Structure 1
Amino acid sequence: MRALFAASPLAIALSAAALADAPRLPDSLYTLLGAAHETGDAEVFAQAVRLIALTQEPEVVAAGADALSAQAGARARAALGLELMAVEAVTGEALEDAGPDDDEAEEPAGPVSRAIGFVANGKLEHWSGRVRAGLRYDTGNVEREDYTFGLQVTRALAGWGFEGAIDYNYSEIDSRVGRDELIARARGERERGERWTNFIDTRYEQDQLSGFDWKAFAGGGLGYRVYARDDLAWTLRAAPGARWTKDVTGDVDTFAAFDLGSEFQASLTDAVRFTANTNLLFSERSQADQVLALNTALGAVWSVELRYRYRHQFNPEPGFQSNDSRADVALVREF
């Protein structure tokens, strides 16, 4: 017993030392986190958490939120993509912190509830993005049908961000297929300070009316944010990687590749936004892509987008032109 009591002060001292050495938020960032928590707005708090996570490890940010309350810790982990830890943090203490008006625990939102909420307010839990759809139909001397569909999504994960996009374009002219094209992209990105990023990028293209069955690219590299404001954003990227092509005969070729990219976005007015994305892919069959878009808001979640895409093939397949372009107008739904 004497040995036990004698060891207790030593154990306490060692625990205190370990806590003192543990990484913690700087006082200025902790004050910012606390101010966001005091607003009572979950979205404001989540934005503050993601902002602080650009310069601090996710676990450190979550620990700082835990110091505010169990509920704040759970919300911080959810915002950072640490859902499994967030579930453990949501206990009776979190329910007590919710306030006197929240006497009963809320049931987790099911798929139907989430779908209704998405349609009603344009928000999807943990995800943000946009859906784009366009239609054109001409009759007379020429019958023409054009369809375009696009989906873009982003999500913040633990220390990483995820972006994905799918574009599908289809057209018929006098009952003959004029275009049948699918483009898919996915990128994982990790911030390295205020301007630099590391990223992994993948792309896949399938065109039924070209000299290939499909093309794919995978690589990783560095990004640099020239501007990172709400009204003006410009990011430059460079990524070495590999490119695969499958031609109509079924042969799959692999080439070394190097991809250069530029993503520019500017708010011309409160309702009008301009974007210009450029990619230059150096490989055995090099190509350059330019996508320009002008987006005009129609409300909180709806907008109209005028989009123009230009592609130049430096070494096109025999019988195909080196230049290809497309312009379309689409209705966009933000979420």
Structure 2
Amino acid sequence: MTKNVFIIAAISGFIATAVAAQTTTFNNEDASADAVEDLEEQIEEDRERDIGRFGNEGREIGSYGSLAVRGTSVSSDGDNTTDVGLGLRYGTFDGINGLDITASLAYGEVDGEKTKDTLLAGLDYRRDLTATFFAYGKLEAAYDNLADSEGEFTQDIFAGAGLGYRIYNTADTQWSVQAGPGYRAAKRVTSMEGDPRETEDISEAAASVSSNVFRSLTETTYVTNDTDVIYSETATTVTNELALNVAMTDTLSLRTSYTTNFNSESDDDLSDAVNTLGVSVIYNFN
């Protein structure tokens, strides 16, 4: 038996894999439940992205925000699975200074035992210096309360600042880059023996480079590609998100994205990166 407990702000998604393509309910009675679980894992951290939030270009004066909350409960063959996901974005702009706050929470249980407990949060400040240059400061934090393998991080915080430049800034095309120094503070698991688990503290200098591309296709459709690279002595992380966004109403938009996450400490090359395909319906509020 499969049942949805609640869906708030209409967020949904899908993930296509070779296994899913070859398996149907006709030859595997658990195929639908497995597909739901795959779906939840892939889209829970897929966060909404608004037009022109990089370096303040294209922003309107005032505040904006979006909220996505999703919860499901699946009962199949005596196993009970519960998943909850929350995505929040809020920002303001006064004509010179822009501030964005984002947060993403994922929690899950199987038969009363936690299977996921993560929090991602970010704060991004930008100040326009000229028509093409801007300054920025950023704070990114990730917490995984269930990190259970040696080398995984229970906490990873990056703070940085720097300068940005708008390469293109027209009504249809925007491309901005930014770079600067930073600082990384993390806790990495060294052993799971004993209670609590053993961790080591990492404190080191770091640097970040980011690129943001926006291209309008129609009045209601646009493509974005965001790339973020954070380098430190411990590891280099790369995140790239390519997305197609379609505005359906003033408050609802459809977003299809393909995200690649690479970590040099755990991945030998880009072929080992984690790739996520997701489709989301986002509720925007102003």
**Under TM normalisation by the shorter chain, which class is it?**
0.5 to 0.7
Query: Which residue of 229, 232, 237 maps to 2:178?
Result: 237
Which structure shows the higher helix fraction? 1
Query: Does 2:211 correspond to 1:262?
Result: yes
Residue 218 of structure 1: how far off its partner (Å): 0.7
Question: 1:280 matched to which residue of 2?
Answer: 229
Residue 173 of structure 1: how far off its partner (Å): 6.3
Question: 2:44 matched to which residue of 1?
Answer: none
Query: Does 2:168 correspond to 1:221?
Result: no
CA distance 1:275–1:254, change in 2 (3 Å): same
Question: 1:162 matched to which residue of 2?
Answer: 99
CA distance 1:290–1:221, change in 2 (3 Å): same
CA distance 1:171–1:271, change in 2 (3 Å): farther
Give the AA of the match of 2:263: Q
CA distance 1:258–1:234, change in 2 (3 Å): same
Query: Does 2:274 correspond to 1:324?
Result: yes
Kindly, what percent of the aligned residue pairs are identical?
23
Question: 1:129 matched to which residue of 2?
Answer: 65
Question: 1:180 matched to which residue of 2?
Answer: 117
Kindly report which structure 2 residues correspond to 1:61-140, keeping only aligned pairs within 5 A, or say none.
Answer: 126-134=62-70
Aligned equivalents of 2:213 and 2:156: distance in 1? 25
Aligned equivalents of 2:127 and 2:175: distance in 1? 17
Give the secondary structure class of the aligned counterpart of 1:316: coil
Residue 196 of structure 1: how far off its partner (Å): 0.8
Give the AA of the match of 1:186: L
Give the secondary structure class of the aligned counterpart of 2:159: strand
Residue 138 of structure 1: how far off its partner (Å): 6.1
Residue 185 of structure 1: how far off its partner (Å): 1.1
Does the aligned pair in 2 maintain the 1:233–1:265 contact within 8 Å? yes
Does the aligned pair in 2 maintain the 1:134–1:328 contact within 8 Å? no
Structure index of larger Rg? 1
Question: 1:310 matched to which residue of 2?
Answer: 260
Aligned equivalents of 2:205 and 2:241: distance in 1? 24
Aligned equivalents of 1:297 and 1:158: distance in 2? 25
Aligned equivalents of 1:161 and 1:203: distance in 2? 17
CA distance 1:315–1:184, change in 2 (3 Å): same
Give the secondary structure class of the aligned counterpart of 1:127: strand
Give the secondary structure class of the aligned counterpart of 1:251: strand
Give the AA of the match of 1:293: A
Q: CA RMSD in A?
A: 3.0
TM-score if structure 1 supplies the norm length?
A: 0.55
Residue 214 of structure 1: how far off its partner (Å): 0.7
> Where does the alignment leave 5 or more consecutive residues of structure 2 unmatched?
1-55, 190-197
Give the AA of the match of 1:128: Y
Query: Does 2:90 correspond to 1:153?
Result: yes
1:180-213 CA-to-partner distances (Å, cap 9, x unmatched) read 3221111111112111111111111112343121
Give the AA of the match of 1:304: L
Does the aligned pair in 2 maintain the 1:314–1:322 contact within 8 Å? no
Does the aligned pair in 2 maintain the 1:182–1:206 contact within 8 Å? yes
Aligned equivalents of 1:169 and 1:267: distance in 2? 32
Give the AA of the match of 1:195: T
Does the aligned pair in 2 maintain the 1:133–1:330 contact within 8 Å? no
Residue 133 of structure 1: how far off its partner (Å): 3.8
CA distance 1:195–1:136, change in 2 (3 Å): farther
Aligned equivalents of 2:72 and 2:142: distance in 1? 23
TM-score if structure 2 supplies the norm length?
A: 0.63
Aligned equivalents of 1:268 and 1:135: distance in 2? 33
Moved more, 303-312 or 216-225: 303-312
CA distance 1:138–1:228, change in 2 (3 Å): farther
> Where does the alignment leave 5 or more consecutive residues of structure 1 unmatched?
1-52, 55-78, 80-125
Give the AA of the match of 1:243: R
Question: 1:116 matched to which residue of 2?
Answer: none
1:15-56 CA-to-partner distances (Å, cap 9, x unmatched) read xxxxxxxxxxxxxxxxxxxxxxxxxxxxxxxxxxxxxx99xx
Aligned equivalents of 2:76 and 2:186: distance in 1? 39
